[in-house]
Structure 1
Amino acid sequence: MASLHHHQEPHGEDLARAAQDALERSGEQWTTMRAHIFAALAGFDKPASAYDIAEAVSKAEGRRVAANSVYRILDLFVAANLARRVESSNAYIANAHPDCLHDCIFLVCDTCGQTTHLDDDRITNGVRSAAEKAGFAPERPVIEVRGKCAECDAAS
């Protein structure tokens, strides 16, 4: 069993193509609106809310896009492993490796909002195992650590 693992992370058009391929393999269509929402999401350097994404798409498209529409598409993206939801911030990040299914750990800086994504199967498998021992059937562990990133910690 791998513990820490690393990925080749596509960017730009390669990431959009990987997301499109993954969504289509799941039986869904890659529509123009879904492409615009994914592009906006992938363009943020920090987790983005549905309202942030709706605003970015609205500006790019020159027409108003409702946050409710964005939420529905983000839910689809999360279900298809194209995006991850940072629960404590009610925000989303593009999944840079949509073909890899695993649980994520997020380190969230309370000062600047930067969120770092870690893959450590030892930790997430331990959480799953503890839940199972307690008679619980885990479906999607959410592990978030809030604190200060190295830059903000050094600045204080």
Structure 2
Amino acid sequence: MAHAHSHVIHEGASLKQAARDTLEKSGQQWTAMRASVFDALAQFERPASAYDIAEAVSKAEGRRIAANSIYRILDLFVASNLARRVESVNAYVANAHPDCQHDCIFLVCDACGQATHIDDDSLSGNVRRAAEKAGFSVKRPIIEVHGTCADCDKN
């Protein structure tokens, strides 16, 4: 389980640099294609599918990029903590603090599609302990709560 600490939420150029630093610390290269995929992912305000990202990268590159190539890079990004996968909608978001490890807790709005990531190590810690008590070896809990965000709830 992750421990309590303060962390920096990155945006823009700071986010891209933090992602690059984190990827390189894991022994991977920050290639031009990986940079393009990360740029596209970071521009989405809502979780983006590999097809959404492939379309954005294709436009930026001026050539067709297959979704299969995007999936491979996204798998690397998730494994390296640069992105998080919203499992229930098969979409991805850039991790605003890739230098910190936290379990994933998403609040997913069924009306607008927004997914808000929250860090609550006590909640995920309880899930870990319950699983371990049941004899289950936990890799990383992912919790998704579907409902309506505050903006959509007002409408």
Q: Normalising to structure 1: TM-score of the pair?
A: 0.95
Counterpart mapping for 1:6-155 below 5 A: 7-155=7-155
In the alignment, the residues of structure 2 paired with residue 44 and residue 151 of structure 1 have an alpha-carbon distance, to the nearest angstrom, of: 18
Q: Percent identity?
A: 71
Q: CA deviation at 1:140?
A: 1.3
Look up the equivalent residue of 2:83 and give its one-letter code.
A
Deviation at 1:62, TM superposition (A): 0.5
Aligned counterparts of 1:70 and 1:120: Cα–Cα separation in 2 = 30
Aligned to 2:57, the other structure's residue is in SS state helix
Separation in structure 2 between the aligned mates of residue 79 and residue 104 of structure 1, nearest angstrom: 13
Q: How many residues matched?
A: 153
SS across alignment from 1:117: strand
Q: Deviations over 1:72-125 (max 9, x none)?
A: 000000000000000001000000101101102100000000111100001000
- Aligned residue for 2:117, secondary structure, equals strand
4+ long deviations beyond 6 Å: none
- 1:21-76 Cα shifts (integer Å, max 9, x gaps): 00000000000000000000000000000000000000011100000000000000
SS in 2 for 1:135: coil
**SS of equivalent to 1:18:** helix
Q: Distance in 2 between matches of 1:124 and 1:26?
A: 25
What code does the residue aligned with 2:41 have? Answer: L
Question: Using a 3 Å threshold, how does the CA distance of structure 1 residues 104 and 28 change in structure 2: closer, same or farther?
Answer: same
1:8 CA drift (Å): 2.4
Partner secondary structure for residue 84 of structure 2 = strand
Q: In structure 2, how many angstroms separate the alpha carbons of the residues matched to 1:150 and 1:17?
A: 32
